[in-house]
Chains A and B, each alone.
Chain A
Amino acid sequence: MSQQKVPVTVLTGYLGAGKTTLLNRILSEEHGKKYAVIVNEFGEIGIDNDLIVDADEEVFEMNNGCICCTVRGDLIRIIEGLMKRRGQFDAIIIETTGLADPAPVAQTFFVDDDVQARASLDAIVTVVDAKHILLRLDDSHEAQEQIAFADIILLNKTDLVSPQELEEVRQRIRAINSQAKVLETVNAQAPLDQVLGQGAFDLDRILQIEPGFLSEDDHEHDDAITSISVSSDAPLDPSKFMPWLREVTATRGQDILRTKGIIAFPGEPKRFVVQGVHMLMSGDLQERRWAEGEPRTSRLVFIGRNLDHAELARDFAACAA
């Protein structure tokens, strides 16, 4: 009765970063898979695929009392419509404009039950132009958010910058998002098996949380997005941790773009995994157990703005059993 969920990859990035190059590689490479591609009306041209659908990028506020809970109404409609063509494609790729906010796209897959029943968000892939990204980051919220939301970052056009410039770009990206997998490419030539089929939102596939990159002293200007990592070697008490996490994401959900964590509960052999977008959280015990001899370190990462590292670290530590 239950049908296989169709995996959905979201491609973001500024115009000219190499999104279309990547997309055309995905579509043309011999992998025997058929894709439905959802493009924005104002996007680059020259995409060669049988099934292309125009999206209007209509962001809807959900009338459910949650202020940052926005969804993409057009995607709900399109995904539902595409399901009538079942069997004619294996996966969906959504290309967004450089100006699009990735949050409503991601939230659509958590909020709409019909979409959730039929499709699963595989990963958010952000293509970044190594040459221009630093300027973009200084003048645009969207460029920061696209990096912040990414599961995979294609750091493209690395041939156009010096090793020093490249290192600076790497560090800026890491400061914003310490968790994404960064693939450095020329002409968007990334191995596709590292871009597609990632299951980045699949709780069972979250294997590790990278320790934070920045120390507190590296704090940049207030508006910048950063990754804050907190950890505890003592197992956490679920009756303290769960309400605390709910509270933090509910009250600061607008500033917290993404959350990811692996938590050890006392006497629980399985790892508890959480992940979320703004206020929307999912969490579960993973099939994977803590390995013999593996340090049971609980680790939680927030990617967002105006995050007080010291306070979050203190409150997290206070959840210890």
Chain B
Amino acid sequence: MIALDEAVLADRFGRRLACEASVSAIEWVGDVAWFACGDGAIRRADMTGDYKPLAAHQGAILTAALDPNGQSLLTGGDDGRLLRVARDGAVEEFGSFGRHWVDHIAASAQSGLIVAGVGKEAMVWKRGATKPTHRFAFASTIGGLALDAKGKRLAVTQYGGASLLYANSSDSGRLELQWGGSHLACTIAPDGDYLISAMQETGLHGWRLSDMTDLAMRGYRAKTRSFSWNRRGKWLATSGDTSAILWPFDSKTGPMGQRPLLLGASEALVSRVAFHPRQDILAIGYADGVVALHNVEDDRALEVERPGGEAISALSWRGDGSVLAWGAEDGRCGLLDIGSQPR
């Protein structure tokens, strides 16, 4: 492609990678971005050096999460396996579930727990376990999983609502939260006060956990697949419309009765969002392949990657916020070093 338009940040401070497979997730293991891909391989890259594929799954990697030890990646695949891939490339099988897909993984450094959504069951590995310790069964297929900030309370969304339980205990009581419709991806607020789920019908449903008040956040054009809380838990950024939609959670009643903040209006749908870990800057990935940075205060924008290609499917900041990594459904990936950017 000949770039006739203005330079974008990736041209000057970035590095582009071609992963040759759809990118399902990006996690940072130390200072290296690990791209988990649809061809079952992982590509590991920083600003220089090669990124040869490291074969892991026999099918597509559907989901990935940083291992509680911080030194390896957990991946779930459509080959029914959950794997742990270490820095030295060693692959260890943590579970194999036949033709059932491992669709979701949540893991916590705090609690050491790993939870995987496999069909209608949530499998749990306690700290140090390499085989599932116990499992929780549900009436329908799991749509999403989330652990709270302490890594103890587990939210599981499904058809008809969500369940909250304490993942560490195999005989945990359950709090059943009912709401008609199919609930997909979910997230628990950093302070543990709210559970928010994305609906098949589009829009969000929320529960304030102190009193089980229901919240409805509607008006999205597409399903929300990406959630990101800012560093103080004030804003929840969400995908699913032609702007990133940010809901305020700093008042006592959360987003109830409040208008959301819209950032980065575009003709394309927002497909991924990721807050910078230290500043109120939101990285936004779009369905047309664009990546941009937006300042929450004034919506000032910097274009990171120009349009062309397919939807951005993964977006992730390095822990110190100095590098942003993105990946798209067509395998176009990139890294942007904002540490070296003149201010």
Contacts and interface: CB of A to CB of B under 8 A. Distances in A.
A67 to B, nearest CB: 13
B182 interface: yes
A58 B78 contact: no
A63 B180 contact: yes
Nearest to B38: A84
B159 interface: yes
Interface stretch (A70-78, A262-270, A312-320): A70-78
Which among A53, A86, A113 has the highest number of chain B CB atoms within 10 Å?
A86
Nearest to B61: A84
Interface residues of A, number: 27
Nearest to B202: A113
B181 A62 contact: yes
Given A56-B141, A77-B141, 4 more contacts: A60-B159, A74-B141, A82-B60, A84-B62
Interface string B61-93: 110000000000000001000000000000000
B288 A60 contact: no
Nearest to A54: B99
A86 B199 contact: no
A81 interface: yes
B165 to A, nearest CB: 22
B177 to A, nearest CB: 15
Given A62-B181, A84-B22, A84-B60, A53 B78 contact: yes
B99 A52 contact: yes
Contacts of A58: 140-141, 159
A128 B101 CA distance: 32
B223 interface: yes
B209 interface: no
Contacts of B168: none
B243 interface: no
Contact of B201 (A3, A51, A62, A82): A62
Contact of A114 (B59, B159, B223): B223
Interface string B249-272: 000000000000000000000000
Interface string B19-45: 001101000000000000011000000
Contact of B182 (A51, A73, A83, A113): A73
Contacts of A71: 200
A31 interface: no
A85 interface: yes
B100 interface: yes
Nearest to A84: B38
A79 B191 CA distance: 35
Interface residues of B, number: 34
Interface of A: 1, 3, 51-54, 56, 58, 60-64, 71, 73-74, 76-77, 81-86, 112-114
Contacts of B308: 1
Nearest to A113: B222
B241 interface: no
Report, nearest first, the 6 A-B pairs whose CB atoms are least far apart: A84-B38, A63-B181, A84-B60, A54-B99, A85-B60, A84-B22
B223 to A, nearest CB: 7
Nearest to B120: A56
15 contacts: A1-B288, A1-B308, A53-B101, A58-B141, A60-B182, A61-B181, A63-B180, A73-B140, A73-B141, A76-B200, A81-B101, A83-B22, A84-B61, A86-B38, A113-B223
B62 A81 contact: yes
Contacts of B200: 60, 62-63, 71, 73, 76, 112
B280 interface: no
Contact of B329 (A61, A83, A112): A83
B57 to A, nearest CB: 11
Which among A61, A63, A64, A84 has the highest number of chain B CB atoms within 10 Å?
A84
B299 interface: no
B22 A86 contact: yes
A291 B133 CA distance: 70
Contacts of A52: 99
B103 interface: yes
Contacts of A62: 181, 200-201
A151 to B, nearest CB: 27
Contacts of A86: 22, 38, 329
Contacts of B288: 1
A38 to B, nearest CB: 11
Contact of A85 (B78, B100, B140): B78
Contact of B199 (A63, A76, A77, A114): A63
Interface in B149-193: 159, 180-182
Contacts of B38: 84-86
Interface string B301-329: 00000011110000000000000000001
